[in-house]
A and B are shown apart, each in its own frame.
Chain A
Amino acid sequence: MVTCNAITLDMSIFGFSIILGFLFILIRYLFAEVANDERGKMEAKYLTGELILSIIIVLFMAAILNHATSQTDNNNVFIALVNNVSSSVSSSSQQNLASFGTSQSGSLTCKALAYLKNMSANAMDLYKANLWAAMVAGQLSTFTYSINAAIAFTEYISINLNDLRPMGYLGKNLEKEFSSQASNILNVAVLPLISQFYILMLFVNNELLKLFPLIILFRVIPVFKGFANVLFSVIVSFVIVMPLIIYAESFIFKLDNLNVNSITEYTDNLNAFSIVLNKPVKEAVEISKGVISQSWPLGSESNPLTLYLEDVYFKVDKDNKVFKFRDKALIKYDELMKKNARVIVAAAFLSAINIIALVVSIRSLQLLFGDTTENLFEMFMRWV
């Protein structure tokens, strides 16, 4: 459950901004009058027009913000718009379009947050599944133990059996592959989704939105005009455009909840990876110890390596594309890779569309205000 409160814009701050804005213009005019500065008086008049325009635009947009963040479900015009388009698309293509992860009742922003949270949680589960698979493969890939040989041979101090690989090089490869899949999921899916979730959370709260009415004041103070335009563009883009796009995306980009048994038959809990090979490893060590103290190196048949390696129950099941251990699927390779691909493609697409939409939205709103300063995002990109 995403706790998501309705936003109520503080009207007293609007009044405060408007009064301070008028005071600033009055002082500007009085100074110009005293100094007999005709240009200054003209500027004060121009600023008055600017203030009135700002009041209209900001109040108008505040009403829209209020609506988007407080009205729920089909009472919210944005949600109704997306629902309407989706139902039209569904019936035109005979495919059922349903929103993913936004079943709880809420405003536009709440639905967007719920969707991002669900997507992040599913991506995180898959990240964990890959780490689990990497740990299992890693555990299978290398086995090293030392034994104090002094018991059997007085000349030797110790014997170390290094780098024995019951799964051969395969375990190492799988370990590397699953680790890199896990970090890809982390970098491309989990972190971008969580970042978007928190950025949205940051903008959709009463404290930050207290800045919104101040735009009226900032726009009449010449040094703050550019800042006010950026602030307006950023807030509108994050509070309306981004949630709108994300809610629409919830009809397209969906992830199944991860069922652990679709990845492995060995556990229901991806934290419990260590039990998988304990028994045979233990057995191998015990057998080797016993054998080595009795007969090595006299009888090559009793080589501990031979005994250990033959005691491995790992199999490659080519037909089902799974790796088996004692006839149960240890890692369902194909299934896991498909799930990885799905989450990465969905998250990458979703994030790319969101970034493009945000950039163009912020830029266009700035331009609409006649602000010709360079786009902040482009500057940021160049800086990165």
Chain B
Amino acid sequence: MTVLTIVAILVVIAISFYTAIYLLGRIFNARNVMQIAITNGADALFTIVLAYILILLVKDGDAGILSKSAVYFVNATVGGIDSAAGDNLTLQYQKFYNRTYNNVTNMLFDISDRLLTIGNRKIGGMTYQFSGGASDSLGALTDIAGGIEAGKEGGASIGSGLTKAVTGMIPSTSNAIGFGGAYSVAARRLTILHTHLSSLHGLLIYINELKGLLTVNAITFLIVAGAIMRILLIGKGGGSFLMAMGLSLYIILPASLLFGFALIQRAMTDLSLSWNAIPDLPEEEHIGYYYLDDYSKPMSTKALDTFKLDTNAAKTIFLIFAYVMVISLSLLAVISTSAGLSSLFGAEVGIWLIAQIGRLA
């Protein structure tokens, strides 16, 4: 009954609009205006029937035929569908999404935790400015320890900073190597993983928000707005595109996301990262400047082993690639389907326009 109310509103709009145009044509005896009213009036009838069919298709949401077909399709091709959730597309999508999202978020917070631990392993740098003429900082320290006289070379040369302090001991002048040694290297690599995972985390949230936005109401709104635009001649192309986009967003987006998530989870059952426990460091490794005497300790590979960086990086990179592909292909499918359906609805919509809008952002 309520769908019929919407249809009735559309009919009233169409009849009053085209009757006004026809009468104007009649008053001024303009045959072409009358012809426009008749031709477009017939087209408005097509629009109303189309809108009615589309609203009927989407109005039942997950209980609708399209949603059920999508679930059957994914189950038949990829499998792995949760039988408890039945043929409810939103529930199935939500189950897969939640699992993916929880895995990615856990990984992200795992890495955050490790990064914090590394932070407590004293990554940082230290610079010294000293008077006197020692050729390197080790010498300078020895000199100090030995109580060398101040200003041996006239006190004019002021010693270097970190470069001088580090070059004597560690084969690098990088600030980050100063303290923490191998932990700096681990931290840098974990940082890369963290950055990538947070992008993936963001991407997942974005796509889920988009999916959440597409309620039956929103889809119906797109269809009705499109129909009104199409009837009133203010945008036949835009109206057709809105109606087509409504249908694509309603079924193609969740179906292709479900397909992609199911495919990835089938290919890769273990989606968590693995770590070795971070060992309690012996006292001499825990403190900042012992390696002024011995630089081999901070360059130990223990830290790298601890973080299993290669295994975790490979897993993370695979996941990022796979999910980005799934999300981009789903969006591409939505846009292509919208364009295809629009032409089926009798209007060519240049995809270039959407691309151009992207350039404005």
Contact = CB atoms under 8 A, between A and B. Distances in A.
A157 B126 contact: no
B144 A89 contact: no
Interface in B116-164: 116-120, 122-132, 140, 143-144, 148, 150, 158, 161-162
B258 interface: no
B106 interface: yes
B113 A188 contact: no
A334 B122 contact: no
A75 interface: no
A159 interface: yes
A316 B105 CA distance: 12
B149 to A, nearest CB: 9
A19 B19 CA distance: 31
Interface string B268-293: 00000000000000000011111000
Contacts of A334: 105
Interface in B158-191: 158, 161-162, 175-176, 179, 187-188, 190-191
Contacts of A253: 213
Given A160-B127, A306-B286, A334-B105, A360 B237 contact: yes
Contact of A361 (B158, B175, B179, B235): B235
Interface stretch (B67-75, B90-98, B201-209): B201-209
A373 interface: no
Given A92-B59, A341-B202, A169 B229 contact: no
A356 B105 CA distance: 36
Interface stretch (B217-225, B302-310, B312-320, B324-332): B217-225
A168 B106 contact: no
Given A88-B6, A95-B215, A321-B109, A156 B150 contact: no
A84 interface: yes
B194 A170 contact: yes
A187 B361 CA distance: 7
Given A155-B148, A165-B119, A173 B194 contact: yes
Given A155-B130, A316-B116, A384-B359, A345 B209 contact: yes
B130 A365 contact: no
Contacts of A352: 354, 357
A174 B158 CA distance: 38
A63 to B, nearest CB: 13
Interface in A154-176: 154-173, 176
Contacts of B117: 168
Nearest to B151: A155
B195 interface: yes
B5 interface: yes
A27 to B, nearest CB: 25
Interface residues of B, number: 90
Contacts of A155: 130-132, 140, 143-144, 148, 150
A330 to B, nearest CB: 12
A164 to B, nearest CB: 4
Interface in A311-329: 312, 314-316, 318, 321, 323
Interface string B189-200: 011001100100
Nearest to A368: B233
Interface string B7-32: 00100010000000000100010000
Given A167-B116, A169-B119, A318-B110, A361 B126 contact: no
Nearest to B287: A300
Contact of B2 (A81, A89, A365): A89
Contacts of B179: 305
B209 A342 contact: yes
Nearest to A89: B220
A125 interface: no
B353 A359 contact: yes
Contact of A337 (B202, B218, B356): B202
Contacts of A312: 120
A169 B115 contact: yes
Contact of A303 (B105, B123, B289): B289
Nearest to B198: A177
Interface residues of A, number: 87
B202 A303 contact: no
A318 B127 contact: no
Given A93-B59, A300-B290, A341-B202, A384 B209 contact: no
Contacts of A15: none
Contact of B129 (A157, A297, A305, A337): A157
A252 B238 contact: no
Contacts of B357: 352, 355-356
A176 B192 CA distance: 12
A101 B225 CA distance: 20
A173 B229 contact: no
Contact of B116 (A81, A170, A176): A170
A169 B286 contact: no
Nearest to B211: A345
Contacts of B206: 341, 344-345
A312 B220 CA distance: 53
Contacts of A321: 105, 109
Nearest to A173: B194
B241 interface: yes
Nearest to A241: B234
A156 B129 contact: yes
B216 interface: yes
Contacts of B175: 162-163
A334 B105 CA distance: 8
Contact of B9 (A81, A170, A345, A357): A81
Contacts of B267: none
Interface of B: 2-3, 5-6, 9, 13, 24, 28, 55, 59, 61, 105-106, 109-110, 112-113, 115-120, 122-132, 140, 143-144, 148, 150, 158, 161-162, 175-176, 179, 187-188, 190-191, 194-195, 198, 201-202, 205-206, 208-210, 213, 215-218, 220-221, 224-225, 229, 233-239, 241-242, 286-290, 353-354, 356-357, 359-361
Given A314-B116, A318-B110, A345-B210, 5 more contacts: A86-B217, A155-B144, A157-B129, A169-B119, A318-B113
9 contacts: A85-B9, A89-B224, A155-B131, A162-B125, A168-B119, A173-B195, A341-B202, A359-B238, A360-B237
